[in-house]
A and B are shown apart, each in its own frame.
Chain A
């Protein structure tokens, strides 16, 4: 699903964020991306979403080399990938429903399809009763779940998350991680960047550990 081949990413300032990085993540896998602050986790995710481009090497997503993807094909790629960010990037000028519906509106779904899918996604994250509310009235954990509902509403094959539990308490963090596990159970490939080693220590998934932009282990879970 995701394949990096000798990827180097240098930011304009001259900083080498990723250095000759290679790894392969098969379809249907779930992994955690860890590493110190500045290790290059967010950069790796941005390369997959083509928010940044590699200086050299290849980034393949679903068999397609996206490091040279023409700008006009970027939207098509992003529709296939769901993303969740720590600063969940919800829009506070519209309801929870409309926030979650956005990817479907963009993809041109019909009115009834949208209603059905949005409710299914909200049901999945346990927020069906809040669809009419403005996300600003929700708690941090609830907002994060709205972000997750939006990321999965278009049934992406690949789900990326950057610090999805960043400022949530352990209980909420565990709930969020559990949600991601459920999506993985139904076949979605999931890659989560996180600092929270204690949270993932008990979880049975492989790690991608970065240090200074290089892979230190592609091994199994801690324990």
Chain B
């Protein structure tokens, strides 16, 4: 043992000398490589390099995506289509709501007259009401007309024939003008009509509007459910794409882990990748939606014109657009987050 030690130290002089010769031209490099000292970077330096590292990784992930434009476009397009569907429905429902709110003659009021009111008096009242500025149209349905219509519709003709008097009252059907169609104004009008001595009962006929509101409510919920399902779809798409990307960079991941890369470090480029995919998908979806709306806006205006309405198609507002982009990027990031942990844990240097 001691013998070999002697030999060892004796012979090691040779490489030492050679090392000395090697070093003369590049003296600092010896200090650089001395293993005993570990260099401590200052905190501010580290924070700076951490931030520049993030910038670098984000840029690097972006360049990687742009290097394979076709594959990237395909994935982005799938994400965009999945987002366009619920977003389009959302915009459509906003428009339906806007239309139904400002609809001329949205509400109708039926004034059931007392039996004591004659047809002539009723016509006189109709004329008075028609002269009011807040009432757009009036119609009088006399008891006999009402009976006739009931007979036609109900099929109880025989039963009605056996009655010796007409059980139906006369009705005035009114619709308020557009600027008097707000709920409060209709309510006020309703009370005024109710106070008329000729009126027995005033009925606000908004059933179809209520139905429309229920339908839009249901549609909103369906849109939400659809959005949730398609969001899950986006997560799966991004997750799967990231999974493939991880598989493609397996060698790199192994080396990085072998030289001491933390999980966070290994994960970072893939998280950025998911973020970019989501963001691009969101931007493309926004473009698709905006151009569809532009394409539809002309015909919609013409149609509204036919109804004497100045309605024009509502698009995506700034806030809606921002929400759309942010949620798209968030979905991409989440999709990546859901797979990276599991995938990267499975890749360990052996």
Which residues on A are within 8 Å of B, measured CB to CB? 46, 49, 51-52, 72, 75-80, 83, 89-91, 93, 102-103, 105-111, 113, 116-117, 120-121, 123-124, 150, 152, 154-159, 178, 181-183, 185-189, 203-206, 219-221, 223
The 5 closest A-B pairs by CB, nearest first: A220-B4, A79-B260, A204-B11, A78-B260, A188-B35
In the complex, the answer to whether A113 meets B255 with C-beta atoms within 8 Å is: no
Residues of B within 8 A of A219 (CB): 1, 4
In the complex, the answer to whether B49 meets A110 with C-beta atoms within 8 Å is: yes
In the complex, the answer to whether B8 meets A155 with C-beta atoms within 8 Å is: no
Interface stretch of the complex, out of B23-31, B186-194, B218-226, B288-296:
B23-31
CB distance from A40 to the nearest CB of B (A): 15
| Contacts A121-B32, A123-B29, A178-B15 given; does A106 touch B261 at CB 8 Å | yes
In the complex, the answer to whether B251 meets A110 with C-beta atoms within 8 Å is: no
In the complex, the answer to whether B36 meets A109 with C-beta atoms within 8 Å is: no
Cα distance A111–B48 in the bound complex, in angstroms: 10
| Contacts A75-B261, A102-B259, A178-B15 given; does A89 touch B28 at CB 8 Å | no
In the complex, the answer to whether B35 meets A187 with C-beta atoms within 8 Å is: yes
CB distance from B179 to the nearest CB of A (A): 67
Mask of B30-55 contacts with A, CB within 8 angstroms, 1/0: 10111111110100011011101100
Q: 24 A-B pairs, CB-CB below 8 angstroms?
A: A49-B258, A75-B261, A76-B260, A83-B258, A102-B256, A102-B259, A105-B53, A106-B256, A108-B49, A108-B50, A108-B53, A109-B41, A109-B49, A111-B52, A116-B32, A123-B29, A152-B33, A187-B34, A206-B4, A219-B4, A220-B3, A220-B5, A220-B7, A221-B8
Cα distance A49–B348 in the bound complex, in angstroms: 12
| Contacts A108-B50, A111-B52, A155-B32 given; does A182 touch B22 at CB 8 Å | yes
Q: Which of A155, A203, A205 contacts B33 (CB 8 A)?
A: A155
In the complex, the answer to whether A185 meets B260 with C-beta atoms within 8 Å is: no
| Interface flag for B262 (CB, 8 Å) | yes
Most chain B beta carbons < 10 A, residue from A106, A150, A203: A106
Residues of B within 8 A of A188 (CB): 35
In the complex, the answer to whether A206 meets B8 with C-beta atoms within 8 Å is: yes
| Interface flag for B16 (CB, 8 Å) | yes
| Contacts A121-B32, A157-B36, A182-B22 given; does A79 touch B259 at CB 8 Å | yes
Q: Give the A-B pair count, Cβ closer than 8 A.
A: 139
Mask of B246-278 contacts with A, CB within 8 angstroms, 1/0: 000001101111111111010000000000000
Which residues on B are within 8 Å of A, measured CB to CB? 1, 3-5, 7-12, 15-16, 18-19, 22, 26, 28-30, 32-39, 41, 45-46, 48-50, 52-53, 251-252, 254-263, 265, 348-350
CB distance from A168 to the nearest CB of B (A): 19
Cα distance A1–B32 in the bound complex, in angstroms: 21
Cα distance A89–B46 in the bound complex, in angstroms: 28
| Contacts A106-B265, A120-B28 given; does A221 touch B33 at CB 8 Å | no
| Contacts A102-B256, A108-B46, A182-B15 given; does A220 touch B1 at CB 8 Å | yes
CB distance from A31 to the nearest CB of B (A): 11
| Contacts A89-B258, A109-B49 given; does A117 touch B32 at CB 8 Å | yes
Main secondary structure of the interface of B (DSSP, over half): helix
Residues of B within 8 A of A105 (CB): 53
Residues of A within 8 A of B255 (CB): 89-91, 102
Q: Which of B11, B37, B41 contacts A108 (CB 8 A)?
A: B41
Residues of B within 8 A of A205 (CB): 8
In the complex, the answer to whether B34 meets A155 with C-beta atoms within 8 Å is: yes
In the complex, the answer to whether A51 meets B350 with C-beta atoms within 8 Å is: yes
Residues of B within 8 A of A181 (CB): 12, 15
Q: Which of A75, A123, A183, A185 contacts B262 (CB 8 A)?
A: A75
Q: Which of A78, A80, A183, A206 contacts B258 (CB 8 A)?
A: A78
CB distance from B26 to the nearest CB of A (A): 5
Cα distance A188–B33 in the bound complex, in angstroms: 9
CB distance from A123 to the nearest CB of B (A): 5
In the complex, the answer to whether A204 meets B22 with C-beta atoms within 8 Å is: no
In the complex, the answer to whether A106 meets B26 with C-beta atoms within 8 Å is: no
Cα distance A206–B11 in the bound complex, in angstroms: 13
Cα distance A10–B52 in the bound complex, in angstroms: 44
| Contacts A108-B53, A110-B45 given; does A186 touch B34 at CB 8 Å | yes
CB distance from B43 to the nearest CB of A (A): 11
In the complex, the answer to whether A120 meets B32 with C-beta atoms within 8 Å is: yes
Residues of B within 8 A of A91 (CB): 251-252, 255
In the complex, the answer to whether A107 meets B260 with C-beta atoms within 8 Å is: yes
In the complex, the answer to whether A186 meets B33 with C-beta atoms within 8 Å is: yes
Residues of A within 8 A of B1 (CB): 219-220
New contact pairs (16) apart from A51-B350, A111-B49, CB-CB < 8 Å: A78-B260, A89-B255, A113-B39, A120-B32, A154-B260, A155-B34, A155-B39, A157-B36, A181-B12, A182-B15, A186-B19, A186-B34, A203-B11, A204-B9, A220-B4, A220-B8
